[in-house]
Amino acid sequence: MSTLNKPGLAIMTSGGDSAGMNPAIKCAVEYASQRGYEPFLIYDGLNGLIENKIFPATRERVSGILHRGGTVLRSSRSKEFFDISFRQKAFENLKARGVGKLIVIGGDGSFRALNQFYADFGVPFAGIPATIDNDIAGTDYCLGVDTALNIIRQSIDSIRDTASSFRRAFVIEVMGRHCGYLAMVSALSCGAEVCLVPEIPYDLDQIGARLKHEIGQGREYVVAVVAEGVKMSEYLTRFINDSIGMEARLTVLGHVQRGGSPTVHDRVMAYKFAVAAVDALDRGETNAIMVYRDGTYGHLPIDAVANQKYKLDQTLLKLAAPLAC
Ligand code: F6P
């Protein structure tokens, strides 16, 4: 136990990093402290929990981090944590520090891991959704999405300049794992002519006929946004080049989408989620995931989040559907 009458509360980041993690860490530390907890930081995600990289959250450790992308706590995707003997080690590490509550900032894989840990040793946790993929069921928003979308928007705007200068087609592949959220929202907000995402059936022949018709009518360049999950970027580039006859290039945006200083939206969302997570633990919640739905903040039990599939917004899907045919 800490010197205070509440147990220590440790904060960690896990899985793919995303902008907004740092403001969430800082806010959780400061707010937990105000609520009478002794805050700790766990470095290197689940591996750090096993390797005892658990340190008191001193002011120096969380100073000057707000504007930085990624996570100052670093992250990992741990295989060892699947093994009970390593989880036992992690539990002993926490016990020795007097840590009795956890906040994990990450994706649903991280939440599932912490839920297993809760089932094993009864250490309550609160989850803060953070992934650029925006693929966590039950929440409309995950930390990092707005920053990633703005990076993609800036990239596509730049690519449009060169595409129009050269009368070329550009296929732009964006991240998202199996989810098409980033691609769909980017295509709509950047005015792309084509958008392929896993959630919308596409028809290449129809796309080809439409583009040929538009080129005949004077279209000078083409921007196509493709989600990595459909695995069609290279094929579509060749298709536009060879079958439609417009010189085509492929740009895979890759990890550039994961970096960058968090936008104002991501910072404010980080504060809201961090306060909600500390409050949930303070009220005695044991495995709640913070969510933002229809303009309201709340939390859901882990099962409503981790074992469900995230569904894209129907209105946006309808708007994007014509870009796939
Ligand atoms: O989950 C976030 C994400 O960036 C996905 O969009 C992408 O598929 C994956 O992580 C990349 O993983 P890694 O950083 O391990 O290459």
Choose one of 21, 133, 145 to mutate for the ligand 1 pocket test, by most ligand atoms within 8 angstroms of C-beta: 133
C-alpha 198/C-alpha 201 separation (Å) is 7
Residue ID of nearest Cα to ligand 1 atom 16? 255
C-alpha 106/C-alpha 110 separation (Å) is 6
Same domain (yes/no): 17, 130: yes
Nearest CA to 167 out of 225, 214, 206 is that of 214
Does the CB atom of residue 142 touch ligand 1 within 6 A? no
Does the CB atom of residue 175 touch ligand 1 within 6 A? yes
Same domain (yes/no): 15, 133: yes
Residue partners of 165: CB distance under 8 A and separation at least 6: none
Same domain (yes/no): 27, 14: yes
The C-alpha R_g of the chain, in whole angstroms, comes to: 22
Residue partners of 301: CB distance under 8 A and separation at least 6: 287, 288, 289
Which atom of ligand 1 lies closest to the CA of 177?
Answer: 8
Catalytic site residues? 133
C-alpha 32/C-alpha 68 separation (Å) is 21
Same domain (yes/no): 159, 239: yes
Which stretches of the chain drop beneath a pLDDT of 70? Answer: 1-4
Does the CB atom of residue 45 touch ligand 1 within 6 A? no
Position 140 in a domain: yes
Distance in Å, CA 78 to ligand 1 centroid: 14
Which atom of ligand 1 lies closest to the CA of 135?
Answer: 1
| Residues 316, 199, 292, 133, CA torsion sign | negative
Same domain (yes/no): 72, 208: no
Does the CB atom of residue 258 touch ligand 1 within 6 A? yes
Range of the domain at 130: 8-144+262-309
Same domain (yes/no): 128, 276: yes
Q: What is the pLDDT of residue 2?
A: 47
Which atom of ligand 1 lies closest to the CA of 15?
Answer: 1
Q: Please report, as a single letter, which amino acid is at residue 225.
A: V
Q: What is the pLDDT of residue 307?
A: 83
The structure tokens listed for 270 are 């980080």
Distance in Å, CA 177 to ligand 1 centroid: 7
- Work out how many domains the chain is built from and give that number: 2
Q: What is the pLDDT of residue 1?
A: 47
pTM: 0.96
C-alpha 110/C-alpha 169 separation (Å) is 39
Same domain (yes/no): 140, 156: no
Position 325 in a domain: no
Residue ID of nearest Cα to ligand 1 atom 8? 177
Same domain (yes/no): 124, 236: no
Same domain (yes/no): 151, 26: no
Position 315 in a domain: no
Does the CB atom of residue 135 touch ligand 1 within 6 A? no
Same domain (yes/no): 274, 185: no
Per-residue HEC secondary structure of the chain comes to: CCCCCCCEEEEEECCCCCCCHHHHHHHHHHHHHHCCCCEEEECCHHHHHHCCCEEECCCHHHCCCCCCCCCCCCCCCCCHHHCHHHHHHHHHHHHHHCEEEEEEEECHHHHHHHHHHHHHHCCCEEEEEECCCCCCCCCCCCECHHHHHHHHHHHHHHHHHHHHHHCCEEEEEECCCCCCHHHHHHHHHHCCCEEECCCCCCCHHHHHHHHHHHHHCCCCCEEEEEEHHHCCHHHHHHHHHHHHCCCEEEEECHHHHHCCCCCHHHHHHHHHHHHHHHHHHHCCCCEEEEEEECCEEEEEEHHHHHCCCCCCCHHHHHHHHHHHC
Does the CB atom of residue 178 touch ligand 1 within 6 A? no
Q: What is the pLDDT of residue 5?
A: 80
Q: State the CATH number of the domain containing residue 163.
A: 3.40.50.460
List, for residues 186-205, the tens digit of each pLDDT value.
999 999 999 999 999 999 99
Residue ID of nearest Cα to ligand 1 atom 15? 16
Which atom of ligand 1 lies closest to the CA of 133?
Answer: 6
Does the CB atom of residue 177 touch ligand 1 within 6 A? yes
Position 2 in a domain: no
Same domain (yes/no): 268, 139: yes
Distance in Å, CA 224 to ligand 1 centroid: 21
User: Which residues, in sequence order, are bridge partners of residue 174?
Assistant: 227
Q: State the CATH number of the domain containing residue 138.
A: 3.40.50.450
User: Which residue is associated with the tokens 């538009």?
Assistant: 214
